Amino acid sequence: MRVATAWQAMDQRPLRFLATAWPWRALVHLISGAVLGGGVLAAMGILASGLIVAVMVPAAVLLLVAFAACGVGVASFERWRLRLVDLDPVPDPHRASLTPGFRALLRTRCRERATWRESGFAVLTLVLGCLDLLVLGFAFAVPVLLFGAPVDDPRSWPWVLVGVVVLAMAPYVVTAWAGARATLTRTVLGPRDTELGDELTDVGESRRRLVDAFEAERARIERDLHDGAQQRLVSLSMTLGLARLDAADQTPLARGLDDAQAQLAAALTELRNLVRGLNPQVLADNGLVAALEDNADRSPIAITVDVSLPRRLPAHVEATAYFVATEAMTNLARHSGATAARVHGRHHADTLLLEIVDNGVGGACPDAGTGLSGLAERVGAVDGRLRLSSPPGGPTLLRMELPCRFA
């Protein structure tokens, strides 16, 4: 399974984790974070000295713009270096200026909430840089100090052993803090829902439903279809086959029986697909990623599945994510006019994020009878949320957020 974050890498076996590049990537991430904090401190000092001049001349607006520009630059660098410990890129929340020119771009940036959020994060970088130094000092400077104890003093040997233990734990301490810092960076600097598109709206409001009762009803329907309707159709197919043996070739009766058998075979195929959709064996055996890839392979359009998970998800989360995603794939194949789509999924901060993007004509609406409201009800049954962005002309983005906490 593909490892996409530093925290996922730590879930591997200890020796296997140490043999990877993740501890070194985390170390570079913290060192660069400390350097960045120092650079921001210097920039703040320059701005503070300029504030004295601003009191005497009307330059406060220029200082405000410089502060915003500093935040944008820091955030851009943070998103770039985040790839050291989180392979999934963080989308830039800024929008392109509608008119060309530096003044238009400046006006657009100053009106965006993302700009001021990034400026606040630039100030927070000072604290984070100090914490980076503190973690690095604990992981490496403390063992060096403990190793420097007098070797001829018997009382110092326990401290040397403590230094060995601290140094041995250094890769895990550094990687754990780098993963936590990356999660904070992604949360603050990533685009908000309102920044994903003007047409991003709540698909529907849902409350907790009786999930166990729903799953029990689904299992009952699957059992009835498999043991009832499907068996009757198989028996009818055998009866038609025996009747065909008694009919002479090239007669109207023979042609009618052949046509009936062909239609019955198509009905059986559709029923088997329906039963497979109600309870796919691949989901139970191999998990969500394999089940989504299997469904994408059977889709009439090209669907790329990019889902990376640290381990098997809880059963109710897997089931909800699978059925909502497969229904969304079916809908986009029927209604979107798309030629390609992408399923992207990650587990971040006790939440499963699953996004389905297509290159279709857009204009999807929850009230247009496309089943989106029903999907929202299903997601709401597990306290999740379904979001939709589908401006006319596309692309269409369906985002599913499911609470997913491992035991």
Look at residue 280 and tell me if it is in a domain: yes
Angle at which helix 102-111 crosses helix 113-136, to 10 degrees, equals 70
Distance CA 296, CA 280 (A): 14
Do 183 and 234 lie in one domain? The reply is no
Task: Kindly report the CATH number assigned to the domain that includes residue 294.
Answer: 3.30.565.10
Identify the domain boundary among 191, 212, 228: 191
Look at residue 1 and tell me if it is in a domain: no
Distance CA 67, CA 119 (A): 7
Distance CA 320, CA 330 (A): 15
Distance CA 221, CA 227 (A): 10
pLDDT of residue 31: 92
Task: List all residues 6 or more positions away from 222 whose beta carbon is below 8 Å from its beta carbon.
Answer: 275, 278, 279
Look at residue 196 and tell me if it is in a domain: no
Nearest to 74 by CA among 36, 21, 131, 26: 36
Q: What are phi and psi of 343, to 5 degrees?
A: -110, 120
Look at residue 343 and tell me if it is in a domain: yes
Look at residue 31 and tell me if it is in a domain: yes
Look at residue 92 and tell me if it is in a domain: yes
Do 252 and 373 lie in one domain? The reply is yes
Identify the domain boundary among 130, 164, 191: 191
Nearest to 352 by CA among 298, 407, 303, 399: 399
Do 247 and 343 lie in one domain? The reply is yes
Say how many domains are in the chain. 2
Look at residue 356 and tell me if it is in a domain: yes
Do 170 and 303 lie in one domain? The reply is no
Do 115 and 252 lie in one domain? The reply is no
Global pTM value? 0.56
Identify the domain boundary among 142, 159, 191: 191
pLDDT of residue 51: 55
Do 335 and 218 lie in one domain? The reply is yes
Domain that holds residue 157: 6-191
Distance CA 112, CA 239 (A): 70
Residue pLDDT tens, the chain, 407 long: 567 788 888 877 778 888 888 899 999 999 998 888 888 888 777 766 655 555 554 555 555 566 666 778 888 888 889 889 888 777 777 776 666 776 776 777 777 777 888 888 888 888 888 999 999 988 888 888 887 766 666 677 777 788 888 888 889 999 999 988 988 888 888 776 545 544 445 554 444 444 555 555 566 666 656 566 667 777 777 877 777 777 777 787 777 777 777 787 777 776 666 655 555 677 777 888 888 998 888 888 899 999 888 888 888 888 888 888 888 888 888 888 888 899 998 888 788 999 998 888 887 776 665 577 778 877 877 778 888 888 888 788 888 989 888 76
Do 260 and 380 lie in one domain? The reply is yes
pLDDT of residue 374: 76
Distance CA 362, CA 391 (A): 6
